[in-house]
Structure 1
Amino acid sequence: MDSKQMIEAIRAREKSLVLPSLSHDKAWQLGEWLRARALASDLPLYVEVFINGGVRFAAASPRAHNNLAEWVRRKRNLVLRMGQSSYLTDLVFEQWGISLEPFGMNQADYGLGGGGFPIHVADVSIIGALTISGLPSIDDHNLVVECLAEHLAMDFAGLKLTRPASE
């Protein structure tokens, strides 16, 4: 899959991963699912669920370093600003050869890379972001997609992205 195909694949996934509703309890469950996966697989992850202007869940696995919380904040800001996953924005910017600055964003507050995903609720809109950091970009992205797919009872196998041949 080349970068253009990957961009289209991510756009399609984002359209399919829409929650019917989201309560604070469900937001907590999304965060707990990711935290449990990090602990079970000994992953160095920081996890955040941000909805309606506030953090509803945040956790760091034992192997997560302190800077991951900053990466999560920056990726979350990018998701909320662009209305799409941080990995999609990263790939599009790379394909176009552009940076954050032409969009009025700086690297101190916005971060390119996988792991930030919009929380889109049906008949509402994007109400927040589900964001992790600690793995390579594509793996961060895939883990968040897997979490959402699991909660929507969707088959993750058909949603998982594979690394481009150039990596």
Structure 2
Amino acid sequence: MTDEQLLEELLQEENELQFESFSNETALHIGMDIIDRAKAEGKSITVDIHIGEQQVFHYACPGTSADNDAWTARKARIVNRFGRSSYYMEVELRAAGKTILDRYFLDPSRYAAFNGAFPIRVRGAGVIGSVVVSGLPGDQDHKLVTAVLRQFIEESADRRHHV
């Protein structure tokens, strides 16, 4: 798959994975679902969820470190700044042959355009926060977040249709 194709796929994913509403309780359920899935797969991660500037969920599995906390913060700043997933920005920069510093004049010690941060987008409101995972190789942070978000959103839609 080319970078251009991957960018299209990532944009489509962002369009699909939108919430009707999002609360602290939603963050708790999603955060726990991510942790449960990681533990079931024997993976050690850090999860961080923000609504606006407020951290509403954070958990670090055994085997993670303060470095993972720093990575979640740096990836979340990408979502806050650009309103896109950090994976989208990673691929966009790679396709352009640029770094975050070259293209946007942003300090890479504060902004990490690497997969794992996904925007919390509420229909009619736009991006209101981020769900971030750190600790897995390759694109696995992103895939873990989006798999859990997809399942949560589909189950929420099912509950609304069966009420």
| 2:37 match | 37
**Distance in 2 between the 1:47 and 1:137 partners?**
17
Letter in 2 for 1:152: I
Tell me how far apart the structure 2 counterparts of residues 136 and 121 of structure 1 sit (CA, whole Å): 29
Identical amino acids, percent of aligned pairs: 29
Report if the CA contact (8 A) 1:113-1:137 is conserved.
Answer: no
Aligned to 1:99: 99
RMSD of equivalent CA atoms: 1.2
Within 2, Cα distance between the matches of 1:145 and 1:7?
15
- AA matched with 2:44: P
Distance 1:17 1:150 in 2: 10
Greater percentage in helix: 2
Cα distance in 2 for residues equivalent to 1:104 and 1:64 = 30
Residue 80 of structure 2 corresponds to: 80
Q: Which residue type is aligned with residue 59 of structure 2?
A: A
The one-letter code sitting in structure 1 at the alignment partner of 2:37 is R
Residue 92 of structure 2 aligns with an amino acid whose one-letter code is: V
- Give yes or no for contact 1:118–1:126 (8 Å, CA) kept in 2: yes
Q: List aligned pairs for 1:49-68, cutoff 5 A.
A: 49-68=49-68
Q: Which moved more, 1:145-154 or 1:21-30?
A: 145-154
Corresponding position of 1:117: 118
TM-score for the superposition, normalised by structure 1? 0.88
1:78-112 deviation digits (Å, cap 9, x = unpaired): 11101100001000001011111231311111002
TM-score relative to the length of structure 2: 0.90
Name 1:157's counterpart in structure 2. none
In structure 2, distance between residues paired with 1:68 and 1:37: 18
Q: Deviations over 1:31-50 (max 9, x none)?
A: 11111112222212000011
Deviation for aligned residue 1:127: 0.3
Q: What residue ranges of structure 2 are gaps of 5+ in the alignment? A: 156-163
Describe the superposition over 1:32-81 as per-residue Cα deviations: whole angstroms up to 9, x where unpaired.
11111122222120000111211000001112233111000000001110
Q: Matched residue of 1:73: which SS? A: helix
Query: What is the CA–CA distance in structure 2 between the aligned matches of 1:118 and 1:71, rounded to whole Å?
Result: 16
Contact 1:87–1:137, Cα closer than 8 Å, also in 2: no
Q: Deviations over 1:99-145 (max 9, x none)?
A: 11231311111002110000000111100000001112411111111
Q: Which amino acid is the alignment partner of residue 118 of structure 2? A: F
Amino acid at match of 1:151: F
Q: Aligned to 1:119, what secondary structure does the other structure show?
A: strand
Please give the residue correspondences for 1:132-143 in structure 2 after superposition, counting only pairs within 5 Å: 132-143=133-144
Q: How many residues align?
A: 154
Deviant stretches of 4+, over 6 Å: none
Conserved 8 A contact 1:83-1:118: yes
Give unmatched runs, 5+ long, in structure 1: 155-167
